[in-house]
């Protein structure tokens, strides 16, 4: 479970400086950027906030995201 304070302060590392990078929590397993649609997995309660990781999932529809995300 992701801490409420952490949810408030996390932003997409790709968009934070340009558009704000607000994230939406999806099924307690993914953060999805509301600006660029990069998807960041939450693995073992730790968000993987690397742009490269978000790039891997950018074309994947929300409904097709694996729950729970696989640890690679």
Per residue of the chain (72 residues), give pLDDT as tens: 788 898 899 999 999 999 999 999 999 999 999 999 999 999 998 999 999 999 999 999 999 999 988 765
CATH of domain 4-64: 2.20.25
pLDDT confidence of residue 68? 87
Two tokens, residue 62: 């929300």
Rounded distance, CA 67 to CA 22, Å? 22
Q: Sort 71 into a burial class: Cβ within 10 Å, 0-12 / 13-18 / 19+.
A: exposed
pLDDT confidence of residue 71? 64
| Secondary structure element (H or E) that encloses residue 23, with its range | strand 23-26
pLDDT confidence of residue 47? 94
Q: How many CA atoms lie within 13 A of 44 on its CB side?
A: 2
pLDDT confidence of residue 2? 80
- What residue ranges do the domains of the chain occupy? 4-64
């Amino acid at each position: 479970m992701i801490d409420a304070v952490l949810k408030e302060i996390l932003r997409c590392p790709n968009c934070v400086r340009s558009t704000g990078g607000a994230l939406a929590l999806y099924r307690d397993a993914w953060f999805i950027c509301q600006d660029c649609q990069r998807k960041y997995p939450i693995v073992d309660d730790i968000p993987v906030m690397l742009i490269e990781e978000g790039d891997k999932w950018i074309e994947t529809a929300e409904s097709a995201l694996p729950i729970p995300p696989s640890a690679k």
